[in-house]
A and B are shown apart, each in its own frame.
Chain A
């Protein structure tokens, strides 16, 4: 069933005054009316009822809604009945100055399809080329873009290209996918680091090999069998620690020291006189001992008596048996000599003191006699002479001339000597006397003190005098001691003999003792040596083995063993150290390897991720290419095979003589923005300029009209309708006839339902003729619009049906 607009009722809408009702249910509806009778209003009413909008008005008047009702009434209405796939639809709109009430018949895409593809208003016809050439807004898609997109579903292609835009350049991915950019930056850095780390690991491995080789040498020095544990560091360390040479070394050292001691002992025991037999020593000692004893019984006894006597007399505690006899004799002699000398001195001093005492007594007597003499010579005048001399001296200054200052008499009376001379002579005599007296006094004092001294000496000497009994005892003791001294003197030779005998006896006794111990020591030493040999792990000493040789053999064995132990210990020490450093390298290497592995893993992951991301980006790029190719192909197809082809077909029909055919130039670059350019193509294929420059006004109109039809015909018609408002402007008769033929073709061949409004009566009639029904059921509706006397719109419509034509004989 063909979609159709069946019936229209309009009341007080725009320039239509009153009520207009007409059927539109025919393949062709021709509307005629003089200018101003409401053709365009009728068309607008249909558009409003279908789409809810009148774009030809809204484009120029934003407030157009309030001009929709007839200006004289203020309220209008439009009712439209449609027949669509969904059934019969009735739309009723009420238009007031406040706006439109009611819902339009079409919505969304269909409404737009109607507006752009089905209905060609006069206003649109004039602007059609411009509308399709330039984008109709600053942003937003142009009508052509819309057309192409509607036709092709390019929205999705655009969504794809726009959405994938960032894949085209990795820089654009930086913001939306920071991980990608980060990975891109990070990968070379990580690669460098990995290289460096790998080199580090290799170096550590070389270090490890070196350290292992060293360790192998060291442990081979300890125990060749340990080398199998080279790679089992734990056990190796344990073994190194468990097995220590220290105890063995200590043992060997102890052994060595003991052997040394034994050797030293042996050295002593095996000295020069070691071979003398014990019996010889014993005989010798016995001889010595009896000689000493014989001496003691003879002269030795006397000597001891003398010494004992002296010792008792002088209180000498020393026993001559403890020291040598000679020494004892010398000590006793010295002591006796000292005692004799002391006795002699005491006795001699007594005699001297006695004589001195008599001398002193004589001195004292003479001293006392002199003292008495001097006392008399001095008397008491000593002081008087002195005082007088001083007094006279004081008078001297008062002596003038010869007058005596004392008595006042002239001295000349008594003497011819001047008074002054006399006085000084007197003073001198007095002073001389005084000096003499002074010397005598001094002499007296000296004598008195000498006397005193002599008296003191007398007391001291008399005190020293020994009593008589004591003096006798001393004399007795001196005599006795002198005799003992003589006796001692005569025995000095015997004393020397005694000393010699005694020391000989003592020496032989000592040697006897020594010899007795030596045998014991040798057998003990043999035991020790044997024991040492056993301890050293050697065979014990036989009774005939030479101790010295055995010991030095043992000593060299122990020394060797010790040296080898020390060597092993050193090796062990070094091995332990080497093992420590090896294990340190192990640990370092292990962690380095682990770190490397971790890093490598991270790097691999990252690189893999990056590769995957790159792959995806490449896929996206590929998709962009595919989309672009697709778009390019489609758009090219649309332009070349569809739009331009159809447009050309139509234009040529209407202007068969026009050499320039309008066309859309193929967008040079198929991007998201469709920059379509208009051009003309010369029939023979060359390109011409823009149609507006190349075509006449009439053909330009034709170009616009055919473009509209081409747009309609290029797509599957959602609505098979064509409503054209007075399209035949500036067209000559030829074009009109061609247009009529084209409309017929569209109607007949392509099933379009045509509503056409014209103002020209002749044209109306001509078109009615050309579009007459040509078969039974075909129909044409002729509508006549006019105005009544009162300005009311009149409308009469009449269906024309098919009538058989018999004008031409078959």
Chain B
């Protein structure tokens, strides 16, 4: 399902990350606030995320609503981290810094491809780390190549004892076939 507006795109991405979309208007400290969307963090997260459409000519109003929510949270002694995702046109610097004083502001602007959007909302999304345990190379800790013959296996085994041991083994292996050949030749050469 394609989202048609940036706001919908944001909501859907956050919802996929475990955020719970709230019904509008949202009641904070007993006061109703109406936003394009609002989401609460789940899974031991207390984040409150507001999605605000801007560039509609009502930017000042929107900023005041955000500040209002922040104040309401303060009054309630809430420790909820507040984040505002601004979609639509980029707000003026004044509005932006004004909001940034009371909450985290993530400007999203226009409709973006998902990767770009993820970048913009990264702090709200879970941090995806490669799983070391899932990586076969790193799982064992010894990143040595697989071997299919005895000699290579011996050399690989010798690598545990360091470079000199490998060199010693290699040289003795290369020299080994000659032991008999040269021995039999005696001093004839």
Query: Given the complex of chains A and B, what is the CA–CA distance between A104 and B154 in angstroms?
Result: 38
Inter-chain contact B137/A637, CB cutoff 8 Å: yes
Inter-chain contact A160/B28, CB cutoff 8 Å: no
Residue of B with least CB distance to A607: B181
Inter-chain contact B44/A713, CB cutoff 8 Å: no
Query: Given the complex of chains A and B, what is the CA–CA distance between A633 and B136 in angstroms?
Result: 12
B184 at the interface (CB under 8 A from A): yes
Inter-chain contact A166/B104, CB cutoff 8 Å: no
B81 at the interface (CB under 8 A from A): yes
Interface string of A633-644 (1 = CB under 8 A from B): 110010001100
A737 at the interface (CB under 8 A from B): yes
Contacts A616-B151, A652-B119, A656-B120 given; indicate if A152 touches B174 (C-beta within 8 A).
Answer: no
User: Could you tell me how many residues of chain B have their Cβ less than 8 Å away from some Cβ of chain A?
Assistant: 80
Inter-chain contact B162/A159, CB cutoff 8 Å: yes
| Interfacial chain B residues near A179, Cβ < 8 Å | 175, 178-179, 182
Which DSSP category, helix, strand, loop or mixed, fits chain A's interface?
Answer: helix
Inter-chain contact A808/B48, CB cutoff 8 Å: yes
A553 at the interface (CB under 8 A from B): no
Q: Looking at the complex, which of A508-516, A523-531, A742-750 is the stretch in contact with chain B?
A: A742-750
Inter-chain contact B44/A774, CB cutoff 8 Å: yes
Inter-chain contact A808/B26, CB cutoff 8 Å: yes
| Interfacial chain B residues near A774, Cβ < 8 Å | 44-46
Contacts A807-B28, A807-B29 given; indicate if A769 touches B120 (C-beta within 8 A).
Answer: no
Residue of A with least CB distance to B103: A737
Query: Given the complex of chains A and B, what is the CA–CA distance between A252 and B31 in angstroms?
Result: 161
Inter-chain contact A622/B79, CB cutoff 8 Å: no
| Partner pick for B174 among A173, A713, A734, A741, CB 8 A cutoff | A173
Instruction: Say which size band chain A's interface belongs to.
Output: 35 or more
Inter-chain contact B101/A733, CB cutoff 8 Å: yes
Q: Looking at the complex, which of B8-16, B51-59, B70-78 is the stretch in contact with chain A?
A: B70-78
| Interfacial chain B residues near A769, Cβ < 8 Å | 79, 81
Of residues 173 through 187 on chain A, the ones whose CB sits less than 8 Å from some CB of chain B are: 173, 176-177, 179-180, 182-183, 186
Inter-chain contact A158/B149, CB cutoff 8 Å: no
Inter-chain contact B163/A613, CB cutoff 8 Å: no
Inter-chain contact A605/B48, CB cutoff 8 Å: no
Contacts A177-B174, A642-B130 given; indicate if A623 touches B152 (C-beta within 8 A).
Answer: yes
Query: Given the complex of chains A and B, what is the CA–CA distance between A808 and B81 in angstroms?
Result: 12
| Partner pick for B160 among A156, A656, A714, A750, CB 8 A cutoff | A156
Interface string of B161-172 (1 = CB under 8 A from A): 111111101110
Inter-chain contact A606/B159, CB cutoff 8 Å: no
Query: Given the complex of chains A and B, what is the CA–CA distance between A641 and B128 in angstroms?
Result: 11
Of residues 64 through 102 on chain A, the ones whose CB sits less than 8 Å from some CB of chain B are: none
Contacts A634-B137, A750-B127 given; indicate if A619 touches B104 (C-beta within 8 A).
Answer: no
Inter-chain contact B127/A652, CB cutoff 8 Å: no
Inter-chain contact B145/A162, CB cutoff 8 Å: no
Inter-chain contact A156/B159, CB cutoff 8 Å: yes
| Partner pick for B170 among A154, A167, A653, A740, CB 8 A cutoff | A167
Inter-chain contact A602/B181, CB cutoff 8 Å: yes
Of residues 29 through 68 on chain A, the ones whose CB sits less than 8 Å from some CB of chain B are: none
A163 at the interface (CB under 8 A from B): yes
A612 at the interface (CB under 8 A from B): yes
Inter-chain contact A159/B120, CB cutoff 8 Å: no
Residue of A with least CB distance to B77: A807
Contacts A183-B178, A733-B101, A808-B48 given; indicate if A713 touches B151 (C-beta within 8 A).
Answer: no
| Partner pick for B81 among A641, A649, A683, A770, CB 8 A cutoff | A770
Smallest CB–CB gap between A227 and chain B, Å? Answer: 41
B7 at the interface (CB under 8 A from A): no
Residue of A with least CB distance to B183: A605
Contacts A163-B165, A613-B177, A805-B80 given; indicate if A156 touches B142 (C-beta within 8 A).
Answer: yes
Smallest CB–CB gap between B182 and chain A, Å? Answer: 6
Residue of B with least CB distance to A631: B143
| Partner pick for B164 among A163, A605, A742, A806, CB 8 A cutoff | A163
Interface string of B68-102 (1 = CB under 8 A from A): 00001100111111010000000000000000110
| Interfacial chain B residues near A186, Cβ < 8 Å | 189
Smallest CB–CB gap between A189 and chain B, Å? Answer: 9
Residue of B with least CB distance to A154: B143
Of residues 302 through 335 on chain A, the ones whose CB sits less than 8 Å from some CB of chain B are: none
Inter-chain contact A613/B178, CB cutoff 8 Å: yes
| Partner pick for B166 among A159, A653, A716, A807, CB 8 A cutoff | A159
Inter-chain contact A605/B181, CB cutoff 8 Å: yes
A127 at the interface (CB under 8 A from B): no
A164 at the interface (CB under 8 A from B): yes
Contacts A157-B143, A713-B129, A738-B104 given; indicate if A649 touches B159 (C-beta within 8 A).
Answer: no
B133 at the interface (CB under 8 A from A): yes
Inter-chain contact A163/B144, CB cutoff 8 Å: no
A627 at the interface (CB under 8 A from B): yes
Inter-chain contact A733/B184, CB cutoff 8 Å: no
A440 at the interface (CB under 8 A from B): no
| Interfacial chain A residues near B44, Cβ < 8 Å | 748, 774-775, 778
A sample of 17 inter-chain contacts (CB < 8 A) reads A158-B163, A179-B175, A602-B188, A609-B178, A609-B181, A616-B173, A620-B173, A630-B145, A649-B129, A740-B81, A745-B126, A748-B45, A750-B129, A774-B44, A805-B80, A806-B76, A807-B72
3 closest Cβ contacts across the A-B interface?
A163-B166, A807-B78, A609-B177
Known pairs A152-B143, A608-B181, A750-B129. 11 more at Cβ < 8 A?
A156-B156, A160-B155, A164-B167, A183-B181, A606-B182, A646-B130, A737-B104, A741-B83, A741-B123, A774-B44, A807-B72
